[in-house]
């Protein structure tokens, strides 16, 4: 198990790599070099302008494979197949804390299947790192309350993801 925590001004990102699949060593090296905390920090600073989130935040990011993702999908969504990303928001409503409580706000968990991400990257003809940026930004938006129940909201979310990815210059 690989667990790291890095503190930045606004975001603490816990990255847990539980992947036990068959990705090649080059892909695994690229994944371990991803500056996840930097990505989340850039995105949260960008999104703070819109969401007015003025406190430190914590996010958990778990990297896993299709087998574990299928178990989670079955358990929480009654879907017996893997997916690319799951997001479990810590809260479904806005919590108002007194100003003197400056504890970081735990936003929730993002779980990404590296197996599915790898297949999608190949089918989209872009790098695995780009696909992981896409999936992690999608998960973050879900933690912040975004959803896509219809085509209009899906297109808005995809546009926001595209803007977040552009900030990274991946």
Is the pTM here over 0.85, yes or no? yes
Distances (CA, A) of 120 to 81, 89, 117, 125, 138: 15, 24, 5, 8, 14
Four-residue CA torsion sign, 127, 35, 107, 42: negative
Instruction: Express each pLDDT in 27-57 by its tens digit.
Output: 999 999 999 999 998 998 888 655 556 668 8
How much is the pLDDT for 158? 95
Distances (CA, A) of 89 to 21, 58, 129, 164: 26, 11, 24, 19
Instruction: Express each pLDDT in 89-129 by its tens digit.
Output: 987 655 566 666 667 788 999 999 999 999 999 999 999 99
Under a CB-based contact definition with an 8 Å cutoff, are residues 117 and 135 in contact? yes
Distances (CA, A) of 66 to 31, 78, 91, 119: 16, 16, 26, 11
25 pLDDT tier (thresholds 50, 70, 90): very high
Query: For residue 21, what is the DSSP state?
Result: S
Domains of the chain: 2-168 (3.40.390.30)
Under a CB-based contact definition with an 8 Å cutoff, are residues 48 and 107 in contact? no
Question: Any idea which residue has 């936003």 for tokens?
Answer: 107
To the nearest whole percent, how much of the chain has pLDDT over 90? 70
Under a CB-based contact definition with an 8 Å cutoff, are residues 74 and 80 in contact? yes
Average confidence score pLDDT of the chain: 87
């Amino acid at each position: 198990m690989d667990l790291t925590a890095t503190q930045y001004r606004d975001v603490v990102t816990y990255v847990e790599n539980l992947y036990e699949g068959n990705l090649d060593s080059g892909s695994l090296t690229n994944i371990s070099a991803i500056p996840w905390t930097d990505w989340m920090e850039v995105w949260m600073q960008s999104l703070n302008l819109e969401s007015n989130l003025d406190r430190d935040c914590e996010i958990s990011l778990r990297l896993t494979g299709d087998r574990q993702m299928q178990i989670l999908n079955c358990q929480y969504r009654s879907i017996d197949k893997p997916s690319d990303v799951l997001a479990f928001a810590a809260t479904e409503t806005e919590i108002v804390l007194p100003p003197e409580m400056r504890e970081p706000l735990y936003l929730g968990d993002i779980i990404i299947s590296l197996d599915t991400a790898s297949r999608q990257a190949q089918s989209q003809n872009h790098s695995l790192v780009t696909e992981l940026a896409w999936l992690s930004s999608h998960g973050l938006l879900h933690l912040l309350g975004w959803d896509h129940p219809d085509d209009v909201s899906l297109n808005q979310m995809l546009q926001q993801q595209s803007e977040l990815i552009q900030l990274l210059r991946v």
